[in-house]
Amino acid sequence: MNGTADAQQGTTFLKKKAGPFTWGQIIGMILGLIIGLFVLNLSGMGRSMIGWLIVGVAVYIIPHLLGLTDPKKKAVYGLVFAVVAILLGGSVIGPSFIDSNSDTSSDSSGAFTSVEYTYDGDEVTVTAAFTAVEDETPVLACAPIDMISFRSFYITEDLTLTAMTVADGTATVTLTLDSSKLYYLCAVMASTGEDGSYSADPDTASFAVLNGAGFTGSVTDYTYEGAAFCLLYVMAIFYLILVFTTIMRRKITKERAKMEAEGRLYPEGYGRCDKCGAVVLPGEVRCRKCGTYIDRPDSMKPQKKDFFECSECGAEVPADATVCPKCGARFDEPTENEIVHPDGQVDTSDETVPCPKCGENVPKNADFCPKCGYRLR
C-alpha cells in the first residue's frame, strides 16, 4: 500500500503547476537538455548524422513522455535548447576540447610510444619515438580544421602525408603551417606505393593533436561555427518531427471526434469494462469477458437507428434484442402495420423506412407518408 501511495504522490507532484508548465514538463525539458548535450559530447556524435538524429529525437520525446505535448510550448523549448547548446558548445565544450588535445608532448598509441611538438612561429617540428613495422615508414598526416563541433572536428580537405626522417628509432619532420589556422596532426605508419605515394595504416596511428600551441587565431570562430552548424541539423530533425506529429495528432483527434459523434468509438476513458477492464467496443451492451452490462451516461449513447431504450430500466438495447441485457425484461415481437391502398387493397408490413421529406418512420409498403402526405411511390 505504501508503494502505491508513494507512486500516486509522485504522479500528483509531476502534474502540479509551476507557472505555465507542470513539474513533470520542467523535469522532462531539463532531462532532454542534459541527454542531448551528453550525446553531442560523445566521440564523433557532434558531426555525425546518426548523432544529430539521436539528439533531435531525444530532445523531442523525453519532455513529451513527461507531459510536454503542446506544440507551441515544445517549439519554444526546442529553440531554447538550440541557444543553450550553441552557447555551451561555443564557449565551454569546444575550447576545452582544443585545450585537451593541444599538448606539445604526450604518450601515444599504435606503433608510436611518444610524440612531441615544437613550435617556432609558423613552423612545427614533430619528433616521435616508434616501434618499427615491416615495410612501413613513419609519416605525419596533416590537414587544416574547418570547425570544432563540441568534442569533434570537421575536415574537408584531404590529409597530406609527409615522410618523417628516421634516425636511431626516432622519426622527425618539420612543416610550415599557417598559424592563424588550427590543424589536425597525426603520426602514423604507412607503406610506400610504386608511384611514391603513401598508404597509411590506421592501426598504427597516434591520437590526433590540434596545432594549439602555435595557433594565433580565434578559438571561438571555430567552436561557435561548429556548434551552430551541428544544431542547425539537430533542430531541422526536431521541428520536422514536431510538425509531422502535430499534423497527425490533429488529424487523429478530428477523426476520433467524428467517430465518437457517430457512436463508433467511446470517448477516452470509457472504452473499458468497469468491472474487469476489458476493452469494450461501441454498440456492445455486455462485456465479452465477464458478461457485465456496459452502463454509460445518456450523453454517451448516440441516437442510433439500430438501438432503442428499454422501457423498464432505460438501458441501451440492440434493435433485434428480445431480452434487456440489463434488467432481463422481455420485449414483444414487433407488430405489423396495416396499410390500406387507394385502390382498396389491404396488406401488412413490419418494416419501416424514413420519409425523405419529413423523416417520419413510415411502413415500407405505404404509398404516402401519413404525416406530411409525401408520395412515396
**Predicted TM-score (pTM) of this structure:** 0.63
160-163 and 165-167 strand pairing: unpaired
Euclidean distance between CA atoms 330 and 338, whole angstroms: 24
| Per-residue pLDDT tens listing for the chain (377 residues) | 444 444 445 456 556 766 677 777 788 888 888 988 898 888 778 888 898 999 999 999 998 888 888 899 999 999 999 999 999 999 998 888 888 777 666 656 667 788 888 888 788 888 888 887 778 888 888 888 888 888 888 888 888 888 888 888 788 989 888 888 888 888 888 887 777 677 777 777 776 677 666 778 888 888 999 999 999 999 999 999 999 999 998 998 888 788 777 766 666 666 778 788 787 776 677 788 888 887 766 656 555 556 677 777 877 777 667 788 778 887 765 445 555 556 556 566 667 778 887 777 777 777 777 666 677 76
Which residue range forms the structural domain that includes residue 319?
A: 263-333
Are 283 and 328 part of one and the same domain? yes
- Let me know if residue 190 belongs to a domain: yes
Euclidean distance between CA atoms 335 and 352, whole angstroms: 11
Are 205 and 350 part of one and the same domain? no
Half-sphere CA count of 305, side-chain side, radius 13 A: 7
- Let me know if residue 302 belongs to a domain: yes
Are 310 and 343 part of one and the same domain? no
Are 142 and 166 part of one and the same domain? yes
Grid cell at residue 50: 546518426
Count structural domains, the chain: 4
Are 239 and 307 part of one and the same domain? no
Are 16 and 50 part of one and the same domain? yes
CATH number at 143 reads: 2.60.40.10
Are 119 and 206 part of one and the same domain? yes
- Let me know if residue 5 belongs to a domain: no
- Let me know if residue 256 belongs to a domain: no
Q: Are 323 and 329 in contact (CB under 8 A)?
A: yes
Are 329 and 342 part of one and the same domain? no
- Let me know if residue 297 belongs to a domain: yes
Euclidean distance between CA atoms 223 and 153, whole angstroms: 9
- Let me know if residue 258 belongs to a domain: no
